[in-house]
């Protein structure tokens, strides 16, 4: 994935970048200073969640999200600048999420970023939201590619070989629901509210995972794709057979669902590790990075810690606040692109669908999540 035009490379000098994020239901702005490859400092990271606006609907309503972004972007951006103690004139560039995501929200963020860039004669950088997640570990730990990435969020579940900024190879993707989406739908089915992922995790802590034998879709397949729709359907049938549900039923169902998810993800990651080693060679250091909101799930993280240790991989997970959508990750991705001399024109349009690997072969059923 590459976009933008090349200007004079800036890799050898410090870069100060403002990043704006508005792809879904968080309005965020952050400022990062990049001193070199794998050398970054977060100066500010301001995030406003819209959970309360969407809670009554059991999910994100695009029109409500877009309006909420537009109403507070100026305030959030101002707070990021104040928190970092810098002025717009101090910036080297302004970056914003241009996709993938909800079109209305993307447009709101892009308009703000472009206006700031134009008014202050600063370069503008259009950032792929997925690339920002993919590169966050460089900001938090100084890890540089290549590495294997498990990207797990509400909209995407993918395994990618990260070779460098703008250079990604998709190894696997979900052919139906994204993992975060499956958690949210499970929570809604069980009446646990929104956001669903944290609710399912809380209830699972008190549950007995062995009570329900839920399926493990695609286990053992030669590819590295995921499927969660069948698991979600099986859980719905188990719940329907028990209605009305007692608290013990809900806890056990959540625990069984979470256990099945961990088994599926561990199996798919194991297959991706083999593909990764085939492509980069066995002499390259082995690193597994987990990014995206679902990376905050403690049981999943524990399962992948065990798997990584067994296969000789270092496991890297950004802090929880940087796993969910935020402005600092957009600023860092923008700084990494600026260091390569990549900027974008002010007429760059929002891309609600924007895969990291545009050359990846079609995965049957994957659709927009490819």
The DSSP H or E segment spanning 185 is helix 179-189
**37 vs 132: which has the higher pLDDT:** 132
Domain harbouring 109, CATH code? 3.30.420.40
Contact in structure between 162 and 147 (CB atoms under 8 Å): yes
What pTM did the predictor assign?
A: 0.91
Residue 263, number of CB atoms within 10 A of its CB: 14
- In sequence order, what are the residues at sequence separation of 6 or more whose Cβ sits closer than 8 angstroms to the Cβ of residue 95? 17, 18, 19, 20, 113, 124, 125, 126, 127, 330, 331, 333, 334, 335, 337, 338
**327 vs 370: which has the higher pLDDT:** 327
My answer on whether 292 and 348 are in the same domain is no
Residue 358 gets which letter from DSSP?
A: T
The DSSP H or E segment spanning 103 is helix 103-119
Distance, CA of 322 to chain centre: 9
Task: For the chain, give the percent of residues with pLDDT over 70.
Answer: 92
My answer on whether 191 and 312 are in the same domain is yes
164-181 per-position pLDDT tens digit: 999 999 999 999 999 999
40-58 per-position pLDDT tens digit: 999 999 998 765 664 665 6
My answer on whether 85 and 203 are in the same domain is no
My answer on whether 26 and 40 are in the same domain is yes
pLDDT recorded at residue 272: 98
My answer on whether 51 and 13 are in the same domain is yes
My answer on whether 312 and 347 are in the same domain is no
| Omega within 30 of 0 (cis) for the link into 107 | no
My answer on whether 129 and 151 are in the same domain is no
pLDDT recorded at residue 54: 47
pLDDT recorded at residue 287: 98
pLDDT recorded at residue 73: 95
My answer on whether 311 and 239 are in the same domain is yes
Strand locations in 222-341, DSSP E?
287-291, 314-316
285 phi, psi to nearest 5 deg: -60, 140
My answer on whether 312 and 166 are in the same domain is yes
My answer on whether 115 and 23 are in the same domain is yes
Contact in structure between 66 and 58 (CB atoms under 8 Å): no
Give me the mean pLDDT over the 227-251 stretch. 97
Alpha-carbon separation of residue 286 from 94, 161, 316 (angstroms): 33, 11, 11
332-366 per-position pLDDT tens digit: 999 999 999 999 999 999 999 999 999 999 887 66
**pLDDT band of 194, cuts 50, 70, 90:** confident
Is a pLDDT exceeding 80 seen at residue 154? Answer: no
**pLDDT band of 25, cuts 50, 70, 90:** confident
Number of domains, the chain: 2
My answer on whether 93 and 150 are in the same domain is no
My answer on whether 136 and 18 are in the same domain is yes
- In sequence order, what are the residues at sequence separation of 6 or more whose Cβ sits closer than 8 angstroms to the Cβ of residue 295? 150, 152, 301, 317, 318, 323
Mean of all residue pLDDT scores within the chain: 92
279-326 per-position pLDDT tens digit: 999 899 999 999 998 998 999 999 999 999 999 999 999 998 999 899
Is a pLDDT exceeding 90 seen at residue 60? Answer: no
pLDDT recorded at residue 363: 84
**pLDDT band of 367, cuts 50, 70, 90:** low
pLDDT recorded at residue 302: 96
Residue 253 lies in domain: 145-320
């Amino acid at each position: 994935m590459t976009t933008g035009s090349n200007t004079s490379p800036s890799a050898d000098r410090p870069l100060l970048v403002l990043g704006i994020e508005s792809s879904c239901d968080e309005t965020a702005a952050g400022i990062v200073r990049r001193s070199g490859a794998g050398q970054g400092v977060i100066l500010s990271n301001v995030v406003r969640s819209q959970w309360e606006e969407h809670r009554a609907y059991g999910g994100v309503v695009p029109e409500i999200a877009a309006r909420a972004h537009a109403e507070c972007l100026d305030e959030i951006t101002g707070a990021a600048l104040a928190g970092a103690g810098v002025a717009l004139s101090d910036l080297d560039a302004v970056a914003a999420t241009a996709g993938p995501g909800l079109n209305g929200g993307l447009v709101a963020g892009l308009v703000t970023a472009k206006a700031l860039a134009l008014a202050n004669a600063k370069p503008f950088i259009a950032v792929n939201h997925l690339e920002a997640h993919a590169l966050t570990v460089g900001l938090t730990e100084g890890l540089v590619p290549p590495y294997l990435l498990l990207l797990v969020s509400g909209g995407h579940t993918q395994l990618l070989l990260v070779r460098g900024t703008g250079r990604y190879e998709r190894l696997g993707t979900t052919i139906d629901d994204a993992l975060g989406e499956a958690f949210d739908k499970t929570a809604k089915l069980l009446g646990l509210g929104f956001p669903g992922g944290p609710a399912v995790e809380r209830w699972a802590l008190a549950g007995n995972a062995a009570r329900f034998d839920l399926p493990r879709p695609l286990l053992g397949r030669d590819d590295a794709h995921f499927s969660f729709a069948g698991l979600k359907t099986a859980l719905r049938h188990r719940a329907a057979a028990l209605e009305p549900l007692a608290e013990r039923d809900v806890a056990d169902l959540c625990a069984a669902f979470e256990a099945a998810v961990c088994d599926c993800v561990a199996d798919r990651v194991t297959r991706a590790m083999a593909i990764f080693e085939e492509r980069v060679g066995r002499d390259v250091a082995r690193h597994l990075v987990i990014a995206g909101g679902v990376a905050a799930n403690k049981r999943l993280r524990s399962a992948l810690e065990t798997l990584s240790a067994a296969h000789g991989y270092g496991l890297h997970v950004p802090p929880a606040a940087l796993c969910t959508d935020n402005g600092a990750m957009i600023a860092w991705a923008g700084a990494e692109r600026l260091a390569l001399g990549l900027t974008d024109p002010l007429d760059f349009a929002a891309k609600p669908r924007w895969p990291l690997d545009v050359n990846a072969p079609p995965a049957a059923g994957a659709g927009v999540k490819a």
